Amino acid sequence: MENEISNRLNALFHEMVDIRRFLHQYPELSHQEEHTPRYIANYHEQLGLDVRTNVGGRGVVATLTGAYPGKTIAVRADFDALPIQDEKDVPYKSTIPGVMHACGHDGHTALVLALAKALSERRSSLHGTVVFIHQHAEEVSPGGAKQMIDDGCLEGVDEIFGTHLWATEPLGKIQYKHGPFMAAADRFEIVIQGQGGHGAQPHVTKDAILIGSNVVQSLQHIVSRRLNPIQSAVISVASIEASNPFNAIADQVKMEGTVRTFDPDIQKDIKRVMDQTINGVCQSYGASYTFNYFDGHPAVVNDPSASDAVANAAKGIQEVQEVEYAEPQMGGEDFSYYVQAVPGTYFFTGAKPKDVTETIPHHHPKFDIDERSMLIASKTLARTVLQRTGTTQAEGFEHIK
């Protein structure tokens, strides 16, 4: 059966590409997905799977029940796009102004649909149950994961697996990790209220821009001087806004930014110390402030057993050139909610486009992937699912070309 699934995925590669390029041309923003979930649901229905729509809002869940008893394994793919103008010169460029798949979610969807087709055609030999979770709104907080979980998408699931096509790593590389892998991604807002005035008379003002500048610098000292250097954290002020003419001193400054952490205790400490720091700076200038902190996605914490299952599966796939134990990433992912609820793991599949002289990061207007990465990811997930459902030990998979 392992050989049959691998061969079938090879045969389905061009269909994966077609699906991915179709979705790339018609992207939909988070919480605005209408056509994409309908397309996904219709695909699964044609396979004869049990399909639920509008799960947690706009999510789709398709269930494949094997002929024999075994574990229930979930595979997750996200399908929302980003508010970015597609600047690539390719035939499958986005047709929606200001919206594009700049993170690979179109590829995630395509490879999981192909996986569902390959497995469903062999259901008479399949042990256990495979649940295909297609998630909306990954790119925003709160995202679709928690909504779908609250709506029962993980009921009866023993383990969950997901992958991200990672365009900054070369084709043929699989990256996995035990424990914390991607960071909690929080947001904060600061408003500093000073006292405006004429630019020629700073002595009678409380310069909000000057105060804000001191706040920005002081916040950077939290990680470098208040945090144990063994711990990891990021505080980034990403936006500063003060609307006033060139010859007027601003009375108010608004700032926004993000905090990234892995440890919930560190996250809590950073919130407290940030407030202390802002308060201290503003008091020294006689200014007031408001500080709002918004918890985002928690950290993705991978189950070691599930992570090893992916690594072992990947090592048996010919197209995989390297299986690497990865460093933690400060990027955020709401896959974290799934692995809080059930054991599971999230891994990266190298997808750097071939013949590129410059690495294009995710969320870039010229973002693209090497579509062969979808085949590698689907084979890695297939082999993992077959092992974890109890269908097979996947022996001989490495001989398939």
Structure confidence at residue 397 as a pLDDT band (50, 70, 90): very low
> What is the enclosing helix (H) or strand (E) of 349?
strand 344-350
pLDDT digits over 332-343, tens only? 999 999 999 999
pLDDT digits over 1-36, tens only? 777 899 999 999 999 999 999 999 999 999 999 999
Residue 115 has pLDDT above 50, yes or no: yes
pLDDT digits over 379-394, tens only? 999 999 999 999 874 3
To the question of domain 184-297 being in CATH 3.40.50.1360, the answer is: no
Residue-averaged pLDDT of the chain: 95
Q: Write down the pLDDT at residue 356.
A: 83
Give the strand pairing for 248-249 and 197-198. antiparallel
Collapse the DSSP code of 361 into the 3-class scheme (helix H, G, I; strand E, B; otherwise coil) and give the result. Answer: coil
Collapse the DSSP code of 152 into the 3-class scheme (helix H, G, I; strand E, B; otherwise coil) and give the result. Answer: coil
DSSP string across 176-218: E-SEEEE-EEEEEEEEEE-B-EETT-GGGSB-HHHHHHHHHHH
Tell me if 376 sits within 8 A of 170, measured CB to CB: no
Q: Write down the pLDDT at residue 141.
A: 87
Q: Write down the pLDDT at residue 401.
A: 32
The CATH number given to 2-181+299-399 is 3.40.630.10
* Binding-site positions for Mn(2+): 103, 105, 139, 164, 363
Q: Write down the pLDDT at residue 400.
A: 35
Please return the burial class of 35, using the count of CB atoms within 10 Å of its CB with bins 0-12, 13-18 and 19+.
Answer: exposed
pLDDT digits over 344-384, tens only? 999 999 999 998 888 899 999 999 999 999 999 999 999 99
Q: Write down the pLDDT at residue 396.
A: 39
Q: Write down the pLDDT at residue 355.
A: 84
Q: Write down the pLDDT at residue 177.
A: 98
pLDDT digits over 162-185, tens only? 999 999 999 999 999 999 999 999
pLDDT digits over 224-268, tens only? 999 998 899 999 999 999 988 999 999 999 999 999 999 999 999
pLDDT digits over 196-226, tens only? 999 999 999 999 999 999 999 999 999 999 9
Domain coordinates in residue numbering, the chain: 2-181+299-399, 184-297
* Binding-site positions: 103, 105, 139, 164, 363
Q: CA triplet 21, 140, 327: central angle to 5 degrees?
A: 80
Catalytic residues: 80, 138
Please return the burial class of 132, using the count of CB atoms within 10 Å of its CB with bins 0-12, 13-18 and 19+.
Answer: buried
